[in-house]
Amino acid sequence: MKLQLCLSALLIAASSGVFAADGKAVYEKTCAACHATGVAQAPKFGDKAAWAPRIEQGEAALVASVTKGKGAMPPKGGASALSDGELSAAVAYMVSAAK
């Protein structure tokens, strides 16, 4: 019975987004297609000069841009199933690499 309760709690937590999203995994699966090479003028991962003006706007503004899409980047980087938490984690991961 205890095991069943623990498993139920784990499933509820996982489905509600209680666990932090893995920004690196989201980046590698979705964002790297453009940000690793700079396709369509996407700022390259880790490029401090390219990211500096974007970082100055704040992470909330960056997440909003990703959510809505910007320039050649479609909303949510083309991965419409990504949650807000996953988008935020990916942005935080890319920002941390450019600081």
pLDDT at 13: 41
The superfamily CATH assigns to domain 21-98 is Cytochrome c-like domain (1.10.760.10)
CA distances from 43 to 1, 38, 67 (A): 51, 6, 17
Residue (of 26, 34, 18, 36) closest to 71 by Cα position: 34
CA distances from 66 to 22, 39, 57, 69, 83 (A): 16, 16, 13, 5, 11
pLDDT in tens, 22-48: 999 999 999 999 999 999 999 999 999
pTM value > 0.85: no
pLDDT band at residue 80, thresholds of 50, 70 and 90? Answer: very high
Q: For residues 11-18, give the mean pLDDT.
A: 44
Q: What are phi and psi of 40, to 5 degrees?
A: 55, 35
> Would you say residue 1 has pLDDT above 60?
no
User: Which contacts (CB < 8 Å, 24+ apart) does range 1-10 have?
Assistant: none
